[in-house]
Amino acid sequence: MVRTKPLTIVVKLGTSSIVHETTHQPLLTTLSAIVETVVRLRAAGHKVVLVSSGAIGVGLQRMAMPARPKNLSGKQALAAIGQGRLIALWDNLFGQLGQPIAQVLLTRGDISDRTRYLNAVNTFKELLSMGVVPIVNENDTVSVSEIKFGDNDTLSAITSSMIHADYLFLFTDVDGLYTANPRKDTSARLIEVVESTAAIRTQVSTATLGSSLGTGGMETKLIAAEIATAAGVTTIITSSRNPPSLFAILEYHGMASGPSAIGGGARPPHTLFTPSVTPLRDLKAWTRHTLTPAGAVVIDSGAHSVLSRRESGGRLLAAGVLSVRGAFASGQAVRVLVRKGAVGADTRDVEAAREEYVRGLAPTRPGTPRGTAVLPRQGAEPDGTDVSLPDHGDSVDTVVAAEKDVVDEDQWEVEEVGRGLANYNSVQIEKVKGLNSAHLERLLGYADSEYVVENVTIFVSPRYLFGTNI
Ligand SMILES: N[C@@H](CCC(=O)OP(=O)(O)O)C(=O)O
């Protein structure tokens, strides 16, 4: 058997694979098989992270409750009851084979801060280099949105991206992605390889195939696959009924890692999502998938098409910014919104006026009193910057009224197309929006970067990744 380089593998096990759907008793056969599989992977030199759901399920069993409570605090309480027992169960099973484990509880909030994100990455690295198997779950007790909107499929994809995993195995109660629900439709066909999640979305029924216990289904698995493959992680959906099939799958794809449980060259049932050939790594993946945006910049369609090209390097110039929404600090994540529809002539007039003003010219607008300057709105704001008003007719009211007349920014129809990291704060970007970067230093007093937003990643598919909670 050909041995390959040591792999980093994330194994995700959903609630329906951990506890019985109705009795909520732990599925010890499955759990033991997972433990044996992970320990064999470790023995073959691979690094493994386990993403384990099941806290609420185990909590239900402990409290002899028949079903997940509807209210959030009820779920949080059950997760708190169950998580300790869940990790104790894993520790017991792994302990039988001498394998140390660690508990890692994450929330999206935890990793939306760059420092905390890096701390989590460093902890994973350290644990893996110590030969420990980190066992990850959401920190349900403190994370409102995670229970309400979240699922461990997404968490496992983000974890895979954080640790630059080679493979993400989503073990679930079906053996792959089907063209239709295989439990209801006998003509349903297993899809073996997916190269584009966006394309496959139009071809399959993603109706939830899971049990009543978990929060995920095929839809969240597709989302997870999209996140993970974008980060360069090969993603596999397969059945949790036979965890050692992981070896057969790796072997089938030429990634031999130990004796195959199936062997014989037959394709073990699974769906494989191929990784992106130009993966988003580190900062970009982090920006796109983990950050909570603090505000937004509205850009024009020209800037959008530039940013959509790889050569742009994800860097946004002030010239492409039409407006700024919300308040954010330099270094924070921002949504990138594109203004839909054509920019009207009046808007261009105001932008031209702003540009001329900055160049030292103070144009007058027809209909305003003779000598009244049409100023950029920020020039009239007493915000302590060095934008001096021209000495003729600098009527703030007239200017603001003139801008309002033609540009009611709040009414613009916009669409979120990406996210990025701001190099300047919202007030500063407001000051320089629409202008050539040559003006940045004079208007802001410094210009560390000629770009106002960097690390912009433009979404490749509809913005469903995190619902509306961030
Ligand atoms: N974090 C929660 C589970 C979230 C969830 O339901 O995930 P999944 O079963 O993977 O759809 C728990 O441990 O109960």
- Separation of alpha carbons 15 and 211, rounded Å: 9
Cα four-point dihedral sign 281, 206, 216, 239: negative
- Calculate the average pLDDT of the chain: 79
Same domain, 255 and 344: no
Residue 280 domain-assigned (yes or no): no
Give yes or no: residues 203 and 319 share one domain. no
Q: What pTM, to 2 d.p., does this model score?
A: 0.67
Residues 306 and 208 placed together within one structural domain of the fold: no
CATH of the domain at 259: 3.40.1160.10
Domain co-membership, 269 together with 298: no
Task: List the pLDDT tens digit at each of the 470 positions of the chain.
Answer: 445 689 999 999 999 999 999 999 999 999 999 999 999 999 999 999 999 999 999 999 999 999 998 888 899 999 999 999 999 999 999 999 999 999 999 987 777 677 888 899 999 999 999 999 999 999 988 875 543 435 788 889 989 999 999 999 999 988 999 888 888 888 889 999 999 887 887 777 655 444 444 555 677 788 789 889 988 999 999 999 999 999 999 999 988 644 444 445 789 999 999 998 888 766 566 666 666 677 899 999 999 999 988 788 889 999 999 999 987 777 778 899 999 864 443 444 555 555 555 554 443 333 333 333 344 433 333 333 333 333 333 344 444 444 444 557 777 889 888 888 888 888 889 999 999 999 998 898 888 789 999 888 877 543 333 332 22
Q: Are residues 350 and 219 in the same domain?
A: no
Q: What is the CATH number of the domain that holds 347?
A: 2.30.130.10
How does 196-224 read in b/e, with b if 16+ C-beta sit within 10 Å?
Answer: ebeebbeebebeebbbebbbbbbbbbbbb
DSSP 400-445: HHHHHHH--GGG--EEEEEEEEESS-HHHHHHHTTS-GGGHHHHHS
Category of 379 on φ-ψ map: left (φ > 0), alpha (ψ -120 to 50) or beta? alpha
Report yes or no: 399 and 363 within 8 Å, Cβ to Cβ.
no
Counting ligand 1 atoms within 8 A of each CB, the residue from 10, 21, 56, 65 with the most, and so the one to mutate, is 56
Residue written as token pair 């000495």: 391
Q: Are residues 112 and 147 in the same domain?
A: yes
Q: State whether 248 and 370 are in the same domain.
A: no
Assess if residue 462 is contained within a domain: yes
- One domain for residues 203 and 255: yes
Of 151, 158, 237, best ligand 1 pocket probe by most atoms within 8 Å of the beta carbon = 151
Q: Within this chain, do residues 108 and 185 fall inside the same structural domain, yes or no?
A: yes
Distance 37 CA to ligand 1 centre (A): 21
CB 15 near ligand 1, within 6 Å: yes
- Ligand 1 atom with minimal separation from the 78 CA: 14
Residue 278 in domain = no
Please work out whether the CB of residue 137 comes within 6 Å of at least one atom of ligand 1: yes
Is residue 129 situated within a structural domain? yes
Cβ of residue 53 lying under 6 Å from some atom of ligand 1: yes
Is 151 a pocket residue for ligand 1 (Cβ < 6 Å)? yes
Please work out whether the CB of residue 229 comes within 6 Å of at least one atom of ligand 1: no
CA–CA separation, 129 vs 126, rounded Å? 5
- The pLDDT value given to residue 204: 73
Q: Are residues 83 and 216 in the same domain?
A: yes
Q: Residue 286 domain-assigned?
A: no
Distance CA 240, CA 16 (A): 9
Give the domain extent around 436: 293-466
CA distance 294 to 195: 33
Q: Which of 273, 304, 335 is the last residue of a domain?
A: 273
Position 384 scores a pLDDT of 35
- The CB of 140 under 6 Å from ligand 1? The reply is yes
314 lies in the same domain as 387: yes
**Whether residue 320 is found in the same domain as residue 217:** no
Q: ipTM of this model?
A: 0.98
Q: What's the domain count of the chain?
A: 2
Residue nearest to atom 2 of ligand 1 (CA): 53
Residues 6+ apart with CB under 8 A from 254: 2, 4
Domain limit, last residue, from 273, 301, 334: 273
